[in-house]
């Protein structure tokens, strides 16, 4: 069983266009780096990792556990992050711990506010939003609902002390139109970072909560791509 005492954790999150890395020990952030990602520049993770290790005077071989944010969010970024930590951990069979980026973000928000619950809402594309409710618990937070997909018109059903989102620039106007009167809307973008992912992983490990499945959280069912009709055989001449 994993123990957090003296454990050096390398955490990463690429669920948004703001990628990040962090090194933590005993819930203390030793160093972190962040960058703006794009479809044309997906390799910054591999450039920043050596720089972070050099800045903290640590070696990759000293890392005991890798923590990764699982989203929801950028599916390409999430796949890269999960594949990277699994590849780094494989040679020495080190541990990999996955936690939803949304939970990491909710835990940080609840730690800094008096709210007892937070609904994290994001842009799921295809004219839908994803959401999950998290409630305050000693030392962190816990999911209080399953993952949900909602049409924007159904947002008012989502009751919580506060609504937060990593996609304010895209869906903020929808949230303003639908937020329940008893709910506080945080009118800014809240970004899940690698440091928050690492802290959430530390708390969960200390509470003996297993890692989430090491796959990106993707809420839409797979889209079936129709095959083109088979070509008719050429007539014999």
DSSP string, 109-156: HHHHSS-SEEEEEEEEETTEEEEEEEEEETTEEEE-S--EEE-GGGGG
The residue with tokens 């791509």 is 225
pTM: 0.90
DSSP-derived letter for residue 161 is: S
Residue 124: what pLDDT?
Answer: 95
CATH of 8-100+192-206, one of 3.30.499.10, 3.40.47.10, 3.30.420.40, 3.40.50.12500: 3.30.420.40
The CATH code of the domain at 102-189 is 3.30.420
Beta bridge partners of 143: 134
Structural contact between residues 73 and 20, judged by C-beta atoms closer than 8 angstroms: no
- DSSP per-residue letters across 18-34: EEEEEEEETTEEEEEEE
Q: Where in the chain is the domain with CATH 3.30.420.40?
A: 8-100+192-206
Token pair, residue 214, equals: 């090491």
Which helix (DSSP H) or strand (DSSP E) does residue 169 occupy? helix 168-178
Taking a C-beta distance cutoff of 8 angstroms, is the pair 126, 151 a contact?
A: no
Q: What is the pLDDT along the chain (237 residues), one digit of tens a residue?
A: 566 668 999 999 999 999 999 999 989 999 999 999 776 555 788 889 999 999 999 999 999 999 999 999 998 999 999 999 999 999 999 999 999 999 999 999 999 999 999 999 999 998 999 999 999 998 789 999 999 999 999 999 999 999 999 999 999 999 999 999 999 999 999 999 999 999 999 999 999 999 999 999 998 765 444 555 555 555 544
């Amino acid at each position: 069983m994993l123990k957090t005492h003296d454990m050096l954790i390398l955490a990463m999150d690429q669920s948004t266009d703001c990628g990040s890395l962090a090194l933590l020990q005993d819930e203390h952030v030793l160093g972190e780096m962040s960058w703006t990602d794009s479809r044309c520049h997906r390799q910054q993770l591999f450039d920043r990792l050596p720089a972070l290790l050099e800045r903290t005077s640590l070696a990759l071989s000293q890392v005991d556990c890798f923590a990764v944010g699982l989203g929801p969010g950028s599916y390409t970024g999430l796949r890269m992050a999960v594949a990277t930590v699994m590849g780094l951990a494989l040679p020495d069979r080190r541990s990999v711990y996955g936690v939803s980026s949304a939970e990491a973000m909710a835990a940080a928000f609840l730690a800094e506010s008096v709210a007892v619950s937070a609904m994290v809402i994001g842009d799921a594309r295809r004219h839908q939003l994803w959401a999950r409710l998290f409630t305050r618990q000693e030392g962190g937070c816990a999911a209080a609902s399953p993952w949900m997909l909602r049409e924007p018109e159904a947002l008012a059903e989502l009751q919580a002390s506060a609504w937060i989102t990593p996609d304010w620039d895209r869906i903020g106007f929808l949230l303003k139109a639908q937020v329940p009167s008893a709910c506080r809307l945080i009118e800014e973008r809240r970004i899940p970072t690698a440091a928050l992912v690492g802290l959430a992983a530390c708390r969960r490990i200390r509470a003996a909560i297993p890692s989430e499945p090491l796959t990106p959280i993707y809420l839409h069912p797979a889209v079936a791509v129709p095959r083109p009709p088979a070509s008719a055989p050429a007539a014999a001449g």
